[in-house]
Structure 1
Amino acid sequence: MVRFVLLLSLLLTYAFTVSAQPVGKLVRRHPGIVSYTFRDEFAKDVPATLDHIRQLGITDLELSNLFGKTAAEFRTWLNERGIQCSSYGVSYDDIQKKPAEVLQNAKTLGVQFVRVAWIPHEGAFDTTMVRKAAAVFNTFGQLARQQGITFCYHNHGYEFAPYGQGTIYDELMRLTNPDYVSFEMDIAWTFLPGQNPATLLAKYPKRFRLMHLKDIRKGVPGNDQGKLANENSVILGTGQLDWPTILKAVNQSSITHLYIEDESQAATEQVPQSIAYLKGL
């Protein structure tokens, strides 16, 4: 009996210690940034924009595109600054029509992930479209896997239309092979269509590998169209998202890379404050 009481006491002490840790210590890695955050700057001067990112203390980048440069040029500039490009964003058409070129660029950049962020569609996104997309993703995902690269799909909100006992997003999860297709959660485009990011992470703890971190101005209504006015992308911790709960859920998931994505025209001023917020959690 004495041994049981001592064991219970130790377990309770350990549980309290873990639960009392600051959220920041539970998150496995420091956040990187999505190139879209500084899209205007990248379009004008890639090396100078990479210098700015490095000055912010960021060493992990997700490229949304190559901004008219070659993958080899980008890799040289990244190496010179000690920045890792861990994820490379391409279009849905790219993975269908030129998969070999996509994968060659990915290997040149040294990325771990290739991701697609939009499935072309007219009107409502329906099950016919999701079945076609799942087949495309499975095919490309298998090719990527053979090259040691993981394919991810990034949500934009329209995927959460009701379907059966869940959503079309659930159907996309069901139809895609987890060996070949993983996911990147955009928190804003999970929350705005009415989903709970932490709950979705818990539902699919092994499917998500990447995450976009952005916050939404208080009072902005929900929508499922993947559109957010620039001024409604605000400093992390000042908007509608429950960051402590979400980041604790991240720690229980398979997510390995977190990227700040600030869509505001004031991103230069806001990103340092978002970094400070995450460090202070």
Structure 2
Amino acid sequence: MMRKRIFEDSVLSRRNFIVGGSLATTAVLAGCGQPQAVTSAAQPVPGIQLYTVREPMARNMAGTLARIAEIGYKEVEFAGYFDKSPAEVRAILSDTGLAAPSTHVGHDVIRDNPGPAIEAGAEVGHDWLVLNWLAPDQRETIDQYKRWAEVMNRFGEQARAAGMKAAWHNHDFELMPIDGTVPLDILMEECDPDLVKFELDLFWAEKAGTDILALLARDPDRFTMCHVKDMDESGNMADVGTGVIDFRSIFASDVSRFQHFFIERDDAARPFKTAAVGHATLDNVLQAVSESRQ
């Protein structure tokens, strides 16, 4: 189907995008200084995954992050550093008043050479290093997922040694059975809960037909972050608040323990509009949930 091809192109583009950013980061690590953590907001606030605004970021990172801050965002999640050094990224974040608690990291980097990404993450001030996606040839069998759980446990130990934490970001394929077994079940069983958490992408979970609250209820504290991504009635991506996903019901549930909420739309034609609409929606939802719990 054309829709499937669009989604495959989306995640392939993300993979190439992040690998490019990781290579650029590796080249500049020699000049990194002593890391100092950038603190995140104490209360949940709307954040944004910067893949949503990747084209403006590539042209002008400082200007783009300034606009993101003007919209009202306090937190951002990176997916590559756009040929900037970690020190440069940190300085821009300081200038704009933004915190960057998380970044996505390519699966091949995590498996083959995680050291530079860990050093860069510490320099920028991230709390979380998140596996972004698995290539199709890396997710054909359950045994492959078991091996990836081993990779993530090792990566989690390395991240913890540097003062950070590791997490896994899902798409729909982790939630679709392979020979009767759901890959995410294997990841939850095989990954050490003290070393590897999960960033739940709500769009991809919905697309896979997952009962999101039932998934969260299995181990609420394992799901520390989420991608707030909406779906239209045809199953395509939509600006947050214009689609069919009931974010308020999810976030108001007792099994929702998310610490960070990142708006995202992979195919945003007008990325700053997407960012503004998403921020307004998520801000209202989080405030309503907070008030209901008082």
TM-score (norm 2): 0.78
Partner residue, 1:68: 83
Q: Which residue of 2 aligns with 1:186?
A: 201
Q: Render the CA deviation track for 1:12-41: whole Å, top value 9, x for unaligned.
A: xxxxxxxxxxxxxxxx51111111010000
Match of 2:273 in 1: 269
CA contact (8 A) 1:125 1:158 kept: no
Equivalent residues of 1:119, 1:133 under 8 A apart: no
Tell me which stretches of 4 or more aligned residues in structure 1 moved more than 6 Å. Answer: none
For residue 34 of structure 1, the aligned residue among 39, 49, 59 is: 49
Give yes or no for contact 1:213–1:260 (8 Å, CA) kept in 2: yes
Q: Tell me whether 1:51 sits opposite 2:66 in the alignment.
A: yes
**Structure index of larger Rg:** 1
The residue type equivalent to 2:239 in the other structure is I
Q: CA RMSD in A?
A: 1.8
For 1:275, what is the secondary structure of its paired residue? helix
How far residue 161 of structure 1 moved from its aligned partner, in angstroms, is 2.2
- Counterpart Cα distance in 1 of 2:126 and 2:59: 24
1:3 equivalent in structure 2: none
Deviation at 1:165, TM superposition (A): 7.3
- Structure 2 match to 1:238: 242
The answer on whether the counterparts of 2:142 and 2:181 sit within 8 Å (CA) in structure 1 is: no
Deviation at 1:67, TM superposition (A): 1.1
| Bigger mean CA offset, 163-172 vs 45-54 | 163-172
- Alignment correspondent of 2:153: 138
Q: Partners of 2:202 and 2:140 in 1: how far apart?
A: 20
| Correspondence for 2:229 | 214
State the 1:166 CA deviation: 5.6
The amino acid of 2:278's aligned partner reads S
Q: Shift of residue 240 of structure 1?
A: 2.0
Change (3 A) 1:126 1:112: same
Q: Distance in 2 between matches of 1:197 and 1:68?
A: 37
Query: Which residue of the partner structure matches residue 109 of structure 2?
Result: 94
SS of 1:162's partner is coil
1:100 deviation in Å?
A: 1.6
Measured in 2, the distance between the counterparts of 1:181 and 1:164 equals: 25
1:125–1:159: 8 Å Cα contact kept in structure 2? no
The answer as to whether partners of 2:74 and 2:98 remain within 8 angstroms in 1 is yes
Count of matched residue pairs: 242
Separation in structure 2 between the aligned mates of residue 165 and residue 127 of structure 1, nearest angstrom: 10
Q: CA deviation at 1:54?
A: 0.8
Deviations 1:64-111 (A, max 9, x none): 111111111100110111111110111011112222211110110111
- Which 5+ residue runs of structure 1 have no aligned equivalent? 1-27, 221-231
Q: Which blocks of at least 5 consecutive residues in structure 2 are unaligned?
A: 1-42, 286-294
Q: TM-score, normalised by structure 1?
A: 0.81
User: Are residues 75 and 168 of structure 1, via their aligned partners in 2, closer, same or farther at CA, if it must alter by over 3 Å?
Assistant: same
